[in-house]
Amino acid sequence: MQVCNHNLSRYKIKLSSVKTMAYTLRQLTYAVAVADSGSITEASARLGISQPAISAALKELEAEFGISIFLRQPAHRIALSPAGQRFINRARRLLDESHKFENDALGLSREVQGPLDVGCFLPTAPFILPLIIEYMAEHHPGMDIRIHEGNLDEINQWLITGEIEVALTYDMRPHPGVKFESLIEAPAHAVLPNTDPLAKRDSLSLHDLVDRDMVAFDLPITPQYFRGLFLSLGIEPRIAYYVKSFEMVRSLVGGGLGFSLLVMRPHSETSYSGGKLTYVPLSDDLPHPHYGMAFMANAVPRRLFQVFAEGCRHVLKEEGRAESYFVRDPSAKRRKVTKPEGSR
């Protein structure tokens, strides 16, 4: 057992309304060390404290409490008396609490404080940001997260100009000076009205959808990505509508005006217009985007950024709290998400 660097001034603990007794955490530490080792000699070596100092501390404790904590045995061995056993058990609990108190108090001085400008790809913000902000509010209440929602081009520009320090986004066409750390593999899925016969399938191929009207999510880079999935299979989608709102996509599909491809899905299967939707995974071997953190490669990371990044890794990668927002083909082998070389 190590001696803690507590302020070892005397703690006064009132044991009754009549008498107040005084002792130190150092004395209790010595007593527990002797109980653990069975001798003053071994406790002295373990603690790096002289034997006379330990003996004096034990005598002071026994005199203060009016009990014999230890029974002296041959060969300089020491055993606990019945009263001493109860005393040492209580001493352990008190020392444990003092360690927790010290760590909590030190943590207050190390707590991160101040604002952090965080960007987020607009359609994903309602899914991801509440998870992250809830975690940060619980574990780092001094952090002031300032949210900037935008499309992929805007996020790149904000990172370059320093308007934001980090962004939660996809790895689609980042600026050369922007580093990306993947946290989640994010496959696309098909969105269909629940009355469509294809909605009853366990999974779909894009070949099943090629002759149907498509509602395309029209933000920078996004329609090119979804069209590119079809092109990777040598087929061309029949895009009937381009819309910029996530809910507009769902409303048109729910109204029976076509299908769509999305990456994230809400828990609700009802659109704003009341249409019922079904989310079906894709069975094709398609390139999947990754969702994670983007930041400038040459930036010196602040403590605020480091704490935020660790929180994102914990929430999204280690605990997988956003997993229910993705639609995966259960028969497909999940690709392992790794941290790219050179990312912080």
Percent of all residues in the chain with a pLDDT value above 70, rounded to a whole number: 86
The structural domains of the chain, ordered by start, are: 11-109 (1.10.10.10), 114-185+289-325 (3.40.190.10), 189-281 (3.40.190.10)
Q: For 332, which DSSP code?
A: S
Task: State pLDDT tens for residues 38-66.
Answer: 888 888 888 888 989 888 988 988 888 88
**CA Rg, the chain, in Å?**
31
- For the cut 80, the answer to whether the pLDDT of residue 31 exceeds it is yes
For residue 70, the SS3 value is strand
Percent of all residues in the chain with a pLDDT value above 90, rounded to a whole number: 53
Closest residue by Cα to residue 196 from 267, 277, 271, 269: 277
| Residue 315 near residue 291 (C-beta atoms within 8 A) | no
Whole-number pLDDT of residue 323:
94
- For the cut 70, the answer to whether the pLDDT of residue 35 exceeds it is yes
Whole-number pLDDT of residue 340:
33
Task: Please state, in angstroms and rounded to a whole number, the distance separating the CA atoms of residues 293 and 167.
Answer: 5
What the block records as the tokens of 168 is 């939660």
Instruction: Please enumerate, as own/partner, the contacts of 80-84 that have beta carbons within 8 Å and a separation of 24 or more.
Output: 80/35, 84/35
Burial class of residue 264, CB neighbours in 10 A (0-12, 13-18, 19+): buried
| Residue 275 near residue 251 (C-beta atoms within 8 A) | yes
- Record the pTM: 0.64
| Residue 217 near residue 260 (C-beta atoms within 8 A) | yes
Whole-number pLDDT of residue 174:
67
Instruction: Please enumerate, as own/partner, the contacts of 225-230 that have beta carbons within 8 Å and a separation of 24 or more.
Output: 225/172, 225/289, 226/188, 226/261, 229/188, 229/261, 229/284, 229/286, 229/287, 230/206
Task: State pLDDT tens for residues 106-151.
Answer: 555 456 789 999 999 999 999 999 999 999 999 999 999 999 999 9
Q: Partners of 193 in the beta sheet?
A: 277
Per-residue pLDDT, averaged over 9-17, amounts to: 42
Least trusted range by pLDDT, from 75-79, 152-156, 251-255:
75-79
DSSP readout, 167-225? EEEE-SS--TTEEEEEEEE---EEEEETTSGGGGSS-B-GGGTTTSEEEEE-STTHHHH
Whole-number pLDDT of residue 103:
63
Which of the given ranges, 24-33, 89-98, 118-127, has the highest pLDDT on average? Answer: 118-127
What the block records as the tokens of 262 is 């999305």
**Vertex 148 angle, CA 146 and 150, to 5°:** 170
* Position 315, amino acid: V
Residues with Cβ within 8 Å of 154's Cβ and at least 6 positions away in sequence, in order, are 119
Task: Please state, in angstroms and rounded to a whole number, the distance separating the CA atoms of residues 70 and 259.
Answer: 80
Whole-number pLDDT of residue 111:
64
DSSP readout, 240-291? EEEES-HHHHHHHHHTTS-BEEESB--S--B-TT--BEEEEEB-S-----EE
Whole-number pLDDT of residue 300:
83
Task: Please state, in angstroms and rounded to a whole number, the distance separating the CA atoms of residues 163 and 179.
Answer: 16
Task: Please state, in angstroms and rounded to a whole number, the distance separating the CA atoms of residues 140 and 129.
Answer: 15
Per-residue pLDDT, averaged over 180-194, amounts to: 94
User: For residue 32, what are the CA distances in angstroms to 44, 192, 227?
Assistant: 12, 68, 70
Q: Is pLDDT larger for residue 153 or for residue 208?
A: 208
Which of the given ranges, 67-76, 80-89, 190-199, has the highest pLDDT on average? Answer: 190-199
Per-residue pLDDT, averaged over 312-319, amounts to: 95
- For the cut 80, the answer to whether the pLDDT of residue 2 exceeds it is no
Task: Please state, in angstroms and rounded to a whole number, the distance separating the CA atoms of residues 98 and 27.
Answer: 13
Per-residue pLDDT, averaged over 82-86, amounts to: 90
- Reported as a pLDDT band with limits 50, 70 and 90, residue 20 is low
Task: State pLDDT tens for residues 258-297.
Answer: 999 999 999 899 988 899 999 999 999 998 889 999 999 8
Residues with Cβ within 8 Å of 330's Cβ and at least 6 positions away in sequence, in order, are 202, 281
